[in-house]
Amino acid sequence: MTPQSFDQINNDDVKAFDGIAFHTYIGPFANIENARKYDSKWELAMTERRCMMNKKTCDASHVMMGLIGNYLVRHGLSSIYLWNLDLDERGLPNIAGSTGRRGVITIEHTTGKIMRNLEYYMLRNFSQDVAIDSQLVSSTNCMKDDFTGGASSVAFMEPDGSLAVQLYNPTDQKIKVSLSLKDFNRWQNVLLPAYGTVTVHKSNQKMNESEPTANDSFKLNPLPVHLV
């Protein structure tokens, strides 16, 4: 379905689909927002994005934290699937026989040591910091385009009435932001690290402050990179 064909979609066409599955290797990602307008009940599933390995911190952060974890979620993304869940330090095993890839976690193939990658922490932001059955709610956004510019936010109302707000900083400098609720006083000031994500809660419930297990240390990708 091309963007130009959206104008020819009628209600019967819309009802014939439960949702849309897509990858995020190339934009314009505003097409996802446009598609969502035809039926707010459509499921939007991001079914593949290759994990970063040799990307700079800023590039990896823009994709995982900014584009996927913030922008697309703001526009109704229902589920996130990354390629691959776990690989060894060479990028194996995979059906293509490629090296130079990585998974959400990396497992050293001779020792079983584990390294948790950026993608792990992006997924952890949602699985730990946003309760199951939470609903997306409106929040302001300072980004100029898909995932660059000023600080951005994505907010959720949790089943018990708590609020969870994820803030993303797409710049190489720390940013201080102020959170406030409409028709209420200022809520909280937050310092966002460079290319970082912070989740803030407004709740009377006990906070989940668990820490991930410390990473093991080992070298990545000892073989020549072979991308298929």
Q: Is residue 6 part of a domain?
A: no
Q: Is residue 224 part of a domain?
A: no
Q: Is 203 left (phi over 0), alpha (psi -120 to 50) or beta?
A: beta
Yes or no: say if 185 and 156 are a contact pair by the CB < 8 Å rule: no
pLDDT grade for 3, boundaries at 50, 70 and 90: very low
> What digits encode the pLDDT tens for the residues 113-136?
999 998 999 899 888 889 889 999
Q: Is residue 187 part of a domain?
A: yes
Number of domains in the chain: 1
Q: Is residue 221 part of a domain?
A: no
* pLDDT score, position 120: 93
Q: Which domain holds residue 37?
A: 17-202
Share of the chain above pLDDT 90, in %: 28
Q: Is residue 116 part of a domain?
A: yes
pLDDT grade for 219, boundaries at 50, 70 and 90: confident
